[in-house]
């Protein structure tokens, strides 16, 4: 969930709504004359607020601006989980960002590599380079699409149906899957249109996205509801992990469940389902049924 980095009121309680990741923004939501203030607010928020198990990412300013270096200089020592780079266009940018983060980590006594990176692709050029970007650094965890900027770059209007972003979303998902990183869908700006938001989230899931950015706490339960595995999927995943364990004990090479062979992709899918179910607190509930 995006939280403007210059709004202490929203920052103070943003962690109570159940978002998987809090994304403090130093970029678009912060006016130029308030960049200095937002850096301090985010720095002290990281130091003083308790985010419990919620991951914290910071969206820094783009590398085409004079602000991003000061952003990471102030923020990295406070150990955020992730830095989100907007407007990523080339693998060289990611390598440079990685190097600069490493220097600050080293200087601050933080284990080099501790800070992860996610990027957002907001231009046709960035999309063309998406796989190279996604594999440019070991820190890279996820790629996302910035729908508003992307459609502006294409010179088209962003619509409720989102057909103008269909190709871009598809290409991004392919790049992310090939690079084995998460892929996060763009925000849906009309917070009052819950039906439109659910429709877009369902589409994103069906296309292979692993999450969706939100701008309002009201959108969080819908994302969780759409992305949560079904009870049947969880039961199946539990059974698969059980037969794997049994087969390991027996030293059996070929594993089957209900007459069907359980191979590597099925195991990986089961593991993903269980990971997600655990994160949403669904595993114990289903296992007890």
Partner 1 sequence: MISSKAGTEEKNDCIIELEALEKGEGIEIEIESPIKKQFGRHIKETILEILKERCISNVKVRVTDRKALDFSIRARLETAIDRLGGEQLEA
Among 7-15, 53-61, 186-194, 211-219, which window interacts with partner 1 (CB under 8 A)?
A: 7-15
Q: Which of 79, 87, 10 is nearest to 41 (CA)?
A: 10
- Interface with partner 1, residue 258, by CB under 8 A: no
Among 18-26, 45-53, 140-148, 184-192, which window interacts with partner 1 (CB under 8 A)?
A: 45-53
The CB density around residue 225, as the number of other CB atoms within 10 Å, is 12
Length of the chain: 289
Q: Which is nearer to partner 1, 74 or 212 (CB)?
A: 74
The single residue among 1, 19, 41, 133 that binds partner 1, judged by CB under 8 A, is 41
Rounded Cα gap, residues 247 and 278, in angstroms = 24
Binding string, 120-159, against partner 1, x = CB under 8 A?
----------------------------------------
Rounded Cα gap, residues 139 and 189, in angstroms = 29
- Interface with partner 1, residue 45, by CB under 8 A: yes
The CB density around residue 82, as the number of other CB atoms within 10 Å, is 20
Smallest distance, partner 1 to C-beta of residue 30, A: 12
Q: Which of 79, 126, 118, 80 is nearest to 98 (CA)?
A: 118
The single residue among 1, 3, 14, 43 that binds partner 1, judged by CB under 8 A, is 43
The single residue among 32, 48, 258, 260 that binds partner 1, judged by CB under 8 A, is 48
Binding string, 196-235, against partner 1, x = CB under 8 A?
----------------------------------------
Q: Which residues bind partner 1 (CB under 8 A)?
A: 7-9, 11-12, 36-37, 40-41, 43-45, 47-49
């Amino acid at each position: 969930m995006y939280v403007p980095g210059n709004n202490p009121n929203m920052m103070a309680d943003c962690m109570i709504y159940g978002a998987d990741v809090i994304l403090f923004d130093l970029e678009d939501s912060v006016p130029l004359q308030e960049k200095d203030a937002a850096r301090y607010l985010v720095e002290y928020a990281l130091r003083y607020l308790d985010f419990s198990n919620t991951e914290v990412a910071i969206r820094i300013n783009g590398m085409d601006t004079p602000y991003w270096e000061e952003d990471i200089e102030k923020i990295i020592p406070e150990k955020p989980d992730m830095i989100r780079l907007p407007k990523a266009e080339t693998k060289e940018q990611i390598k440079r960002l990685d190097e600069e983060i490493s220097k600050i980590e080293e200087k601050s006594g933080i284990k080099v590599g501790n800070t992860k990176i996610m990027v957002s692709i907001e231009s046709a050029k960035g999309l063309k380079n998406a796989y190279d970007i996604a594999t440019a650094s070991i820190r890279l965890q996820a790629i996302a699409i910035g729908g508003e900027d992307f459609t502006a770059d294409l010179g088209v209007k962003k619509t409720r149906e989102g057909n103008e972003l269909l190709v871009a979303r598809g290409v991004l998902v392919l790049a992310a899957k090939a690079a084995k990183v998460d892929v996060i869908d763009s925000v849906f700006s009309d917070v009052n249109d819950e039906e439109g938001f659910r429709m877009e989230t369902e589409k994103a899931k069906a296309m292979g996205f692993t999450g969706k950015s939100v701008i309002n706490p009201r959108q969080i339960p819908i994302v969780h509801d759409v992305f949560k595995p079904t009870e049947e999927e969880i039961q199946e995943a539990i059974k698969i992990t059980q037969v794997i364990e049994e087969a390991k004990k027996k030293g059996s090479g070929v594993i089957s469940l209900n007459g069907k062979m359980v191979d590597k992709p099925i195991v990986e899918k089961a593991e993903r389902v269980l990971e997600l179910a655990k994160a949403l607190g669904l595993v114990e509930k289903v296992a007890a049924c």
